[in-house]
Structure 1
Amino acid sequence: MPLRTHKHAPVQHAPSRVVQAGNTIVAIDVEGNHRIESGTIASYMLLSPGDAFDPKLIDQSLKTLYATGLFKNVAIARTGNDLVVQVVENPLISQVAFEGNNQLTRANLADATQLKSRSVYTAEAAEADRQAILDAYAKKGYYSTTVVPQIIQLPENRVNLVFRIHDGRATFISRIAFVGNKHYSEGTLRTVISSRESAWWRFLSSSDSYDPARVGLDGDLLKRFYLRSGYPDFQLLSTNAELAPDRSSFFVTFVMNEGPRYHVGDLKIVSHLPHLDGSTLRGDLQMGKGDWFNGDSVTQTVQAITSDVQGRGYAFVLVNPILHKHVDARGRHVVDVTFDIVEGPRVFVERIDISGNSRTEDKVIRREFQIAEGDAFNADAIKRSRQRLMDLQYFKNVGMNTEPGSAPDKIVLTTNVQEQSTGSLTIGGGYSSDDGALIDLGLSEKNLIGTGINAGITGVLAQRASQVDLSVTDPYFLDRNLLLGGDLFHTTDDNQDVSGYEESRTGVTVRTGYAFNDHMSQQVNYSLVDRDVYNIESGASIYISDEAGWSLLSQIGQTLTYDQRDSIIDPHDGYILRLSTDLAGLGGDSDYVRAKLDGGLYVPLDYFSGNSLWTLALSGSAGYLYNYGGRQFIIDNFFLGGQNMRGFEQGGAGPHDKATGDSLGGDFIYTQTTEVRFPLPISPDIGLTGRVFVDVGALSGVKESNGPIYGTPAPRVAAGVGFSWDTPFGLINIDLADPLVKYTDDKTQVFRFGFGTRF
């Protein structure tokens, strides 16, 4: 029972069946195929020679052949005792091209589509790819895009497939509305979500382009905002996005039910762990009775209790917040919160997997983890590990997820990092109040060939200062908890305005350091610096004239740091203390001991403002220099003004020569700054943040050995406002400070401006 084909393909047999004579297929004849083997076509048939002519199986075979996508047309007919399969093959694609695309590259479109060179063309597949291209454009906010697939016939049943694309205009959000909001205005709620209404100044942002994923995130942001603001019954009933008839813009509406606002009632901590009294944990509460309910405070309390209990030796702990809502005798809606502490499941970290690091070595990432394979699962340690990785500034994003391990009590910690550029070649220009017009050149790499080594060479040429610095730092020398680095530098400073001289320094610094734990570290350094005081003004202070010429500084120093900030890049909560000491006199011309204590406290104002961008920053410093022999150089002194005391020129406040008015610096200094940082009432996409501040500082201690000095240890005080603009071209800082308390010969500076750009 042969299978006859025009290509004489081999016969394929199926198990024989008992049939009546004359109703049996003798042969299957395949016709019309050029590229596809007859045996391949026959393999899709549900009938074989020797089978009965079954109309149902013939129909199913026809559908199966169509379903392969290989054929434009298929016909199956009986001729005598033979079954004839007539096919018309779909063409083979020679090339896929995209025309008219501007917003998406060819590579973007090729990734989005399925049809490639040497694929079989079908109208259905082309339509699916057309829709995929439209979806890709929609993700970029282009909903008016049109895509037309066209085929160009080629010899031997081949075609070129061309997608003719018209990008159209970006589809913006013309209006964002809220329905059901009673306690908060639409203006307030628009600042909560990430989507924005279209405006001309948002050309640097895509937040006003419609993105379904972002709108979905906006719903979560609204829920979190209301939960944080005391509305645990809040419901987001629906989110509607209507496309205008001309497909030019979207109208987005959030429909909600706020519910009543709740106060915090009774707070309890109940421990079911042996030898652990819940009352000893009340210091971990992040809320108080009578406060407005705050969902974030509940989460923070859970984290604080968990960390505290684990620190007491209970590795496996689970803290469950239990909410009981009711109306009190005064008619207020109240939430009683009970934090129930039970023994959690015994789960260990079986393995830590890292992905996405195409450049950074695994060991550079693993050494930042606060949890190791085999350790008990600790959510707080994982959170701190992620923050440490983000603080490296090697990655745009770091995601950490847990997956089931090889046993019920084991998990796999999967870490996915998204690499970002860590090297920069900069050529820039700008202006600063201290140095005047400037040009900066720099070549730096924070993560040299993925090893975590920071190296760079920078140069600044300005009207009143210049600097060249070659530096390299390995934070984990020899893969140990040991920092090693060094600098070669040359700087010049023009101090003619405040002290009547210019100065240059050329030297080398080597440093090493060690981290005692997650929060405490120490660095030790040695510097050898050749200094020159020159171009002294005629009639300058005798104190300055005596320092003309070269001097050598040989200095060893150390810095001890205790850091409890939530982030070293953008701190919002926590504090930092830093103690620095320097000893000069190991050779050289200067002999002194200098000590300085710095500190900063960051207090989140979320509770009062409802916005995590509000922060109270308190900082202060105090320093003392003791000269124990040899010459005392004014250039070693502390100076007050500029960066450490706004409202006054750099080095412009403090002791002065009575005869010349030149600033002389001092042996003892203290400064204190109180600053509130807040978002400005405009779109956050512009990148503007504001601040109000009060600076206090004093400088004293110069001995009258060569002439009379005017100086008072009384504090100087300045208050002001300022803002920072984080643009793609650089950071602009502007401060306006009013020197409220000043003294004779102090040089003030009401307006302080700094700008740098890269191109």
Structure 2
Amino acid sequence: MTFQKVHRRQNAVRATLLCTLAALPLPTGLVSLTPSAAEAQAYQVSTIDVRGNRRVDVSTVSAFLALPRGAVTAGQLNEAYQRLVASGLFEEVEIEPRGSTLVVTVKEWPIVRRISIEGNTRVDDEDLTPLLGSVPNRVFNPDQVEEDAAALAGAYEQRGNLAAAVTPRLIRRGNDQVDVVFEVAEGRVVEIERLSFVGNRSYSDRRLRRALATKQAGLLRQFIGSDTFVAEREQFDRRLLTDFYQSRGFIDFRIRSVSNQFSRERNAFFVQYNIQEGNRWSFGRITASSDIPGLNAEDYLAVSRIEPGRYYSPAAIDNAIDRMERLATQNGLSFVRATPQVTRDPRNLQLNVNFRLERGPRIFVERIDIEGNTNTLDRVIRREFTTVEGDPFNPREIRSAAERIRALGYFAEANVDSREGSTPDQVIIDVDVEEQPTGSLSLGAAYATDNGLGLNIGLSERNFLGRGQFLSFNVATGTSTDSASFTFGEPALFGRDLTGQVELYYRKTDFDNAAYNTKEVGFSPSVSFPISRNGRLALRYRIERNELEDVPDDSSPIIQREEGDQIVSSVGYTYSFDNRRSGLDPTSGIVFRFSQDFAGLGGDISFIETNALAAYQRQVWDEEVTLTATIEAGAIHTLSGDTSKVTDRFFLNSRQIRGFEPLGLGPRDLNAPQEDALGGNYYAVARLEAQFPIFIPEEYGITGGVFLDAGSVWDLDDTDGWNGMEVDDDFNLRASAGVALFWDSPFGPLRFNWTTDLKSEDYDKTRNFDVTVSTQF
């Protein structure tokens, strides 16, 4: 006997189930009777003889039959038969009246010995097995197997394999045991061949496609999962598109319809959004009012930070409300709510906003219930709430906590809702989460023109032991650099918004442009915490043993005098500001970093090292072109008569100024046979860059760019070079320009630079082409 049900997903709207039952014997105990014949035919039943049952009791069979003793009609026997078949307990059922005895012959379903999935190559067993409800060593249940096949087919549908078919088969093993095998025919992935828009005037199709999670199929369709058609993703894309327009002032934006058309070959979708942009509105008059005694509305208006004339943004309103309500709490005023009252000025296309400060309902948080966290501890989730049991209930704070929980990355789903508590003035916060894997193991190879071909292995865990701690271990080796690092971090040190981290590291370099090698081994604990909405301060300690080794006799005397090892013990801080995600203008952002390290708390050298970076980014021309301007600089000042060493000084790499080899610019002992690069105590660099779309379709993830770099490295404490001749350590400006190709590849974001030097020294080592990992700021 074979059991076969084929589950196939034909499209995202409806699923078709094709069922085939082969070689099942028909029941022989009853024949089809017309209603009149059934009523006329009658049997006398005094006893029921159940045969063939081994695990199911006779009383259970009789209960499903539910027949009275005495005269029964053929219709009653037919209904009893149907009830017994519907019980799902038996593979075969036969009912036969023999005189006054009703003989019931049954064949029970066998025991499931083993369950396996075959034919799946795109989805691993580890992802499919948890979807099965069938369990080995239990009675086979055909209905459950049917549900399992549908669940497996649904998993493929989520990945765009709408034509995938799942066929369950039974393999008889004797001793009343069977194996259940789910045979998977994966079929082709249904891709999105074209993603287009109708009604968009302000932004191109290319720009709007970048705002959606769904992408068009491109050259790398075998590696990119976001270009497959998934019906459930449409609602998320609708939200993303609406947020995109509303954050840019289009408050009347709406999506008229979304058309999904299946191609004739049934292997691709054409998706079209029909939208209505509406007018673009700006902020007009911003005011605040209140009737609460002792509350000065002007004080609260001052913290709104909304500038009239700027394009309207819901984020600006939310940030203003958050600051106002927080100020009220700081002033000892509970249950104060800031309600924006918006009026339109159609003539000027402006929105006048009045923040009405008023008392909200006196509702308190009774308790916070958390469910679904099988691995993550409750306290990891609770610390994302600024509200605890007994505090005033603030819906805005609860929504913010829900966003922070989702942002942790520990959960596939995280829902936060509120309901009435034991009394009307209390609420219960329900948190329902679904865990997801948080660890990763990476094995790979990388290539960069600075470091050559390299191999790396990495192990990381973002939610170590369910405590929210992060742990990582990385080892990398290349033609010029070997490194290893171990990092452990606690994001809520002492139960506060204080991130603690400990790092151990080892680095060894063997530069092509230097005859010497360096080695560093260090230990660095640090803590960091927010000091404003977009600002953060980090404090650290570092103890490091660095070594300059393998210095040949024909190297510069400066390098030879610095050969050996030293211990560096330092404390430092870094202040960082980044409003690219939370700024009022979604088309621009600012990044600023300033750090200092003070060495001399023990160790062999004393110095102050200062670094700073400021960058501004803006999207122009309907957000098709991204402009970036960056300035960075650094200085190292030695103390107590010490002199800096080559392991302490600055060298510019290809990310800081393009067009030069590693150690390719800066002070150099030209009289030494090796012409050693010496680095410098100071550096300064300015970079301008524009990134824009090119003729290649955007689904390939390739864009173009142009750039201009200028900067230098200069100053040495010791300039006594080869044969006593002084090394030139003056500021000598270098400049380069070029074009770039950016590729958002499956292996990470890469950039290819073609550069020409505009200003350089004769002894500089230039480079016309390089490949690097694309980074921002």
Is TM-score (shorter-chain normalized) higher than 0.5? Answer: yes
Corresponding residue of 1:653:
665
Deviation at 1:286, TM superposition (A): 7.0
Work out the CA distance in 1 between the residues paired with 2:434 and 2:340: 32
Corresponding residue of 1:208:
227
Amino acid aligned to 2:683: I
Q: For residues 68 and 371 of structure 1, do their structure 2 counterparts lie closer, same or farther at Cα, with a shift above 3 Å needed?
A: same
Corresponding residue of 1:249:
268
Amino acid aligned to 1:505: K
1:260 paired residue among 278, 281, 288: 278
CA contact (8 A) 2:473 2:486 kept: yes
The yes-or-no answer on 1:697 pairing with 2:716 is no
Deviation at 1:205, TM superposition (A): 1.3
Deviation at 1:623, TM superposition (A): 2.0
Q: For residues 415 and 705 of structure 1, do their structure 2 counterparts lie closer, same or farther at Cα, with a shift above 3 Å needed?
A: same
CA contact (8 A) 1:260 1:333 kept: no
Amino acid aligned to 1:140: R
- Matched pairs, number: 712
The yes-or-no answer on 1:342 pairing with 2:358 is yes
CA contact (8 A) 2:251 2:281 kept: no
Work out the CA distance in 1 between the residues paired with 2:401 and 2:627: 24
Q: For residues 730 and 306 of structure 1, do their structure 2 counterparts lie closer, same or farther at Cα, with a shift above 3 Å needed?
A: same
Deviation at 1:559, TM superposition (A): 2.0
Q: For residues 89 and 752 of structure 1, do their structure 2 counterparts lie closer, same or farther at Cα, with a shift above 3 Å needed?
A: same
* Percent pairwise identity: 22
The yes-or-no answer on 1:92 pairing with 2:104 is no
Residue 712 of structure 1 aligns to a residue whose secondary structure is coil
CA contact (8 A) 1:671 1:696 kept: yes
Deviation at 1:502, TM superposition (A): 0.7
Farther off after superposition, 707-716 or 453-462: 453-462
Deviation at 1:665, TM superposition (A): 3.1
Corresponding residue of 1:708:
726
Q: For residues 253 and 575 of structure 1, do their structure 2 counterparts lie closer, same or farther at Cα, with a shift above 3 Å needed?
A: closer
Work out the CA distance in 2 between the residues paired with 1:200 and 1:279: 57
Corresponding residue of 1:623:
635
2:593 paired residue among 566, 570, 577: 577
Corresponding residue of 2:541:
525
CA contact (8 A) 1:93 1:160 kept: no
Q: For residues 89 and 264 of structure 1, do their structure 2 counterparts lie closer, same or farther at Cα, with a shift above 3 Å needed?
A: farther
CA contact (8 A) 1:46 1:60 kept: no
1:272 paired residue among 274, 290, 302: 290
The yes-or-no answer on 1:40 pairing with 2:60 is yes
Residues 535-589 of structure 1 deviation map (CA, whole Å, 9 limit, x = unaligned): 3363x44433443x42534433322435555779xx985644333122338453x
Work out the CA distance in 2 between the residues paired with 1:379 and 1:679: 42
Q: For residues 326 and 110 of structure 1, do their structure 2 counterparts lie closer, same or farther at Cα, with a shift above 3 Å needed?
A: same
Residue 222 of structure 1 aligns to a residue whose secondary structure is helix
Work out the CA distance in 2 between the residues paired with 1:152 and 1:127: 16
TM-score, normalised to structure 2's length? 0.74
Corresponding residue of 1:485:
502
Residue 224 of structure 1 aligns to a residue whose secondary structure is helix
Deviation at 1:596, TM superposition (A): 0.4
Corresponding residue of 2:36:
none
CA contact (8 A) 2:596 2:611 kept: yes
Residues 685-713 of structure 1 deviation map (CA, whole Å, 9 limit, x = unaligned): 65557665554434443357523333433
2:433 paired residue among 416, 420, 424: 416
Corresponding residue of 1:668:
682
Corresponding residue of 2:559:
544
Corresponding residue of 1:432:
449
Amino acid aligned to 2:597: T
Work out the CA distance in 2 between the residues paired with 1:593 and 1:71: 85
Amino acid aligned to 1:40: T
Work out the CA distance in 1 between the residues paired with 2:507 and 2:379: 35
1:732 paired residue among 732, 746, 750: 750
Residue 236 of structure 1 aligns to a residue whose secondary structure is strand
Deviation at 1:86, TM superposition (A): 7.0
Residues 599-629 of structure 1 deviation map (CA, whole Å, 9 limit, x = unaligned): 4456564x97568x96856453332413431
CA contact (8 A) 1:619 1:673 kept: yes
1:137 paired residue among 142, 156, 160: 156
Corresponding residue of 1:219:
238
Residues 105-125 of structure 1 deviation map (CA, whole Å, 9 limit, x = unaligned): 667666556566654656x77
The yes-or-no answer on 1:402 pairing with 2:402 is no
Ranges in structure 2 where 5+ consecutive residues have no aligned partner: 1-42
1:278-297 correspondence to structure 2 within 5 Å: 278-282=297-301, 289-297=308-316
CA contact (8 A) 2:245 2:251 kept: yes
CA contact (8 A) 2:414 2:432 kept: yes
CA contact (8 A) 1:505 1:532 kept: yes
Residues 516-544 of structure 1 deviation map (CA, whole Å, 9 limit, x = unaligned): 86755443424252533543363x44433
Amino acid aligned to 1:167: E
Deviation at 1:131, TM superposition (A): 4.6
Deviation at 1:414, TM superposition (A): 1.9
Residues 422-444 of structure 1 deviation map (CA, whole Å, 9 limit, x = unaligned): 454646353332x3444445566
Corresponding residue of 2:766:
748
Residue 242 of structure 2 aligns to a residue whose secondary structure is helix
Work out the CA distance in 2 between the residues paired with 1:513 and 1:136: 43
Work out the CA distance in 1 between the residues paired with 2:546 and 2:635: 24
CA contact (8 A) 1:572 1:615 kept: no
Deviation at 1:737, TM superposition (A): 4.5
Residue 232 of structure 2 aligns to a residue whose secondary structure is helix
The yes-or-no answer on 1:636 pairing with 2:648 is yes
Residue 647 of structure 1 aligns to a residue whose secondary structure is coil
1:679-690 correspondence to structure 2 within 5 Å: none
Corresponding residue of 2:257:
238
Work out the CA distance in 2 between the residues paired with 1:652 and 1:153: 73
Q: For residues 504 and 146 of structure 1, do their structure 2 counterparts lie closer, same or farther at Cα, with a shift above 3 Å needed?
A: closer
Work out the CA distance in 2 between the residues paired with 1:265 and 1:507: 55
Q: For residues 282 and 48 of structure 1, do their structure 2 counterparts lie closer, same or farther at Cα, with a shift above 3 Å needed?
A: same
Q: For residues 91 and 105 of structure 1, do their structure 2 counterparts lie closer, same or farther at Cα, with a shift above 3 Å needed?
A: farther
The yes-or-no answer on 1:596 pairing with 2:610 is yes
Corresponding residue of 1:196:
215
Q: For residues 343 and 161 of structure 1, do their structure 2 counterparts lie closer, same or farther at Cα, with a shift above 3 Å needed?
A: same
Q: For residues 697 and 552 of structure 1, do their structure 2 counterparts lie closer, same or farther at Cα, with a shift above 3 Å needed?
A: same
Amino acid aligned to 2:607: V
CA contact (8 A) 1:432 1:755 kept: no
Amino acid aligned to 1:212: A
Residue 636 of structure 1 aligns to a residue whose secondary structure is coil
Q: For residues 163 and 362 of structure 1, do their structure 2 counterparts lie closer, same or farther at Cα, with a shift above 3 Å needed?
A: closer
Corresponding residue of 1:170:
189
CA contact (8 A) 1:356 1:419 kept: no
Ranges in structure 1 where 5+ consecutive residues have no aligned partner: 1-24
Work out the CA distance in 1 between the residues paired with 2:222 and 2:538: 45
CA contact (8 A) 2:666 2:729 kept: yes
CA contact (8 A) 1:389 1:398 kept: no
Q: For residues 599 and 85 of structure 1, do their structure 2 counterparts lie closer, same or farther at Cα, with a shift above 3 Å needed?
A: farther
Work out the CA distance in 1 between the residues paired with 2:692 and 2:371: 37
Root-mean-square deviation (CA, aligned residues, Å) is: 5.0
Work out the CA distance in 1 between the residues paired with 2:171 and 2:479: 65
Residue 358 of structure 2 aligns to a residue whose secondary structure is strand
Deviation at 1:213, TM superposition (A): 0.3
CA contact (8 A) 1:178 1:255 kept: yes
Amino acid aligned to 2:506: F
Residue 202 of structure 1 aligns to a residue whose secondary structure is coil
Residue 411 of structure 1 aligns to a residue whose secondary structure is strand
